Homo-oligomer: A and B are copies of this chain.
Amino acid sequence: MEVIQVLHMNGSGAGDFSYANNSLLQSKVISMTRPIAEEAINNLYCSTFPTSFTIADLGCSSGPNTLMAVSQLIKTVENSRQKLNKKPIEYQVLLNDLPGNDFNTIFKSLPNFLENLKMEIGGDVGPCLFTGVPGSFYGRLFPSKSVHFIHSSYSLHWLSKVPQGLEESKRNIYLVNASPKRVVKAYYKQFQEDFELFLKCRGEELVKGGSMVLTLLGRRSQDPTSKECCYIWELLALALNDMVSQVFFFQNYIINFPKICC
C-alpha cells in the first residue's frame, strides 16, 4: 500500500473541512493581485468598448472566493462605463473548474449574488449571464475567439496528472528536500507540457487583443527543493504515511480481535 501521489481539492462546497471554509489564503491572494487584474480589464474595456464582455475564471472553486474576483472585475468595467457615459453592456461570466467541483452550490447562490451586485453597481446595468464550464483547463473549454478576459488565481500549480518517473519518490506527494534530480526534472517537465497546452488552448479562445491575468504560486529560492515551497507537502506526506500505518495496525487489531474473544 502506498500513499497516493495525487491530491484533490475537497469538492463539496459545504462543511467544516470544505474548501469553502478553508480558503482564506486564496482570498488574500485575490485581494493582493486585485489592482493588476483591475488595471488589465480596464485597459481592455477602454481600448475596445465592446457591447458584450466575456470574462472567464479558471479554477473558480466553490466558496466565498468563487464570485469575488469576477464581481470585482465587472464593477471595474461598470465604473469606467458609467463615468464615460457609455451604453449598458452584456456580461457573460464563464466559471470553470473540474467536473467534480460543487457547481450546484455556486448556482444556487447566483440569484442573491446578482441582486446584490446590481444594487452595489447601481444605475442601469446590462444582463449578467453566468455559466458553469466543467472541464480541465489543460484542454479546450470555450469556443474560438469568444473570451475577452481570462482570470485564474492559485490554480495553475495543479498539474494535469502525476508526472512519469517518480519511482524514486514513492512515499512522497511532491518534491522533498532530498528529492533526486530525476524527480525534480519529472515535475518540471510535466509543468512545462501542461503550461504550454494551457497557453495554446487559451490562445485559441481569446478574442484578438484579449487579456489574461494569471496568478501562480512561486518561490524566491533558486533551489526547487528548498523548504520554502516543499516543506508543507513533506510534512503532509509524513502524516499520510503515518495514517496509512495506523490503518494497517487497526486492520490487524480487528482481525485479531475475534481470536482473543474465542
Contact = CB atoms under 8 A, between A and B. Distances in A.
A132 B107 contact: yes
A14 interface: no
B108 A132 contact: no
B130 A134 contact: yes
A144 B126 CA distance: 11
A63 to B, nearest CB: 15
A99 B127 contact: no
A129 B90 CA distance: 21
A134 B132 contact: yes
A94 interface: yes
Interface stretch (A135-143, A170-178, A247-255): A135-143
A141 B108 CA distance: 15
A103 B106 CA distance: 10
B104 A52 contact: no
A41 interface: no
A127 B100 CA distance: 21
A18 interface: no
A107 B133 CA distance: 9
Contacts of A134: 107, 110, 130-132
Nearest to A104: B104
A92 B92 CA distance: 15
A122 interface: no
A143 B94 contact: no
Interface string A120-159: 0000000101111111000011111000000000000000
A131 B99 contact: no
Nearest to A140: B127
A15 interface: no
Contacts of A99: 107-108, 110-111
A189 B106 CA distance: 34
Contact of A90 (B94, B100, B143): B143
Given A129-B140, A132-B131, A140-B129, A103 B92 contact: no
Contacts of A104: 102-104
A54 interface: yes
Interface in A159-213: none
A256 B52 CA distance: 64
A129 to B, nearest CB: 6
7 contacts: A92-B142, A99-B108, A103-B132, A107-B134, A127-B140, A130-B135, A131-B133
